[in-house]
Every structure is written in structure tokens, then in C-alpha cells.
Copies of this chain bind each other. A is one copy, B any other.
Amino acid sequence: MTETTDTMPGWLSDGELEAARGRMPILYINAVPVRVDESGTVTSVGLLLRVGPDGSISRALVAGRVLYHERVRDALLRHLEKDLGPVALPRIPASPQPFTVAEYFPTPGVTPFHDPRQHAVSLAYIVPVSGDCQPRQDALDLVWFTPEEAAGPDVQQEMTGGQGALLRQALAHVGRLE
């Protein structure tokens, strides 16, 4: 699961994190940023854009680790701020119940989700954002798609590690996978 580097001081050194990654599942969150209208209907979905060293384009959901002694909802808020900027005004869900749990395995094919670096178990949430999104790191942009575009083949083939499937699960959950 691609993600930006944690910029806040962590509780694990890089070496310790690497060691843990080969030994136990690592807890993550995934957030699907959406725009909604007055009635709550999802009108568009925000995907992060990344350009690889070879110029390849990939699109990704907001993702990141939950840190020691951090609540899941605080991890959601931190990663959304990190990726969408400080004035995105995300509406973190009132309930801790995720719409699904995505299990990224280092071995492909065990589940629809794959992360070659680790076994990551990710709690996935849909998060309406009402403010201005300003991706904060050079390599990233945020592009809004209609639900139809997001589920379509062009976007789906630009997503990796099973995040395309996770995005379609999110659209199904909000009744916009048609």
C-alpha cells in the first residue's frame, strides 16, 4: 500500500518498523475522500495522484499507519490533513465501524489486496470533505472524479494493490456503484 512517509516523530525507528513488518500485521487506515450534496449523496470521489520514477501515473486512496497510543479517528484526521492539507475540513465518521476491512497481504492472491512490504490490515472509512484540498507534497495531486468515472476502467487500471477494488466497495456502500 503506497503512502507518504510519516512526517511526525514516530515511536519506531525505521529499522524497528522494518523488523515488525515481517512479523506481525500492521494496523492501517484507508480513507475515501468524497464530496456530498445537501442530501448526503456522493457527487465525487477524490483520488491522490502520484508520478513514479518512470513517469507512470498511479492513483491512490488516503492511507497510513495507526501509531502507538493513537486513536483510529485521530489517525484518520492526521493522514487526511497530511494528504489533503489543513483546510480540507474532513468530517470524520461518528461511528468507529469501518465500511470494510482491507487485508493487504505480502503474498498476492490471498485476498484482493496486496502490499509487497508487509501484512497491513486497514480499517476503511468514507470521509466527506467540505473544504479546500491542497495536497501538501510535490509528488501528489488530488483529482475529483464522478462515481461513474471512479468505477470505470481508466481510473481502475491506474490503481494498485487492490485499491481499485476497495474504491468500488466504497461506492457500493454509498449506493453509487451502478
Residue ranges of A at the interface with B (Cβ–Cβ < 8 Å): 11-12, 16, 20, 22-27, 34, 36, 38-42, 65-74, 76-77, 91-101, 103, 105-107, 110-112, 119, 121, 123, 126, 128, 165, 168-169, 172-175, 177-178
Are B100 and A96 within 8 A (Cβ)? yes
Are A101 and B77 within 8 A (Cβ)? no
Prevailing SS type, chain A contact patch: loop
Contact of A71 among B70, B72, B73, B103 (CB under 8 A): B103
Are B68 and A23 within 8 A (Cβ)? yes
* A93 CB → nearest B CB, Å: 5
Q: How far is the CA of A84 from the CA of B128 in the complex (A)?
A: 22
Copies in the complex: 4
Contact of A177 among B67, B111, B168 (CB under 8 A): B168
User: Hey, which chain B residues are within 8 Å of A16, CB to CB?
Assistant: 23
Are B27 and A11 within 8 A (Cβ)? no
Are B105 and A69 within 8 A (Cβ)? yes
User: Hey, which chain B residues are within 8 Å of A38, CB to CB?
Assistant: 77, 92
User: Hey, which chain B residues are within 8 Å of A106, CB to CB?
Assistant: 69
User: Hey, which chain B residues are within 8 Å of A126, CB to CB?
Assistant: 94-95
Closest chain B residue to A39 by CB distance?
Answer: B73
Residue among A34, A68, A91 having the largest count of chain B Cβ atoms under 10 Å: A68
Contact of A121 among B27, B40, B178 (CB under 8 A): B27
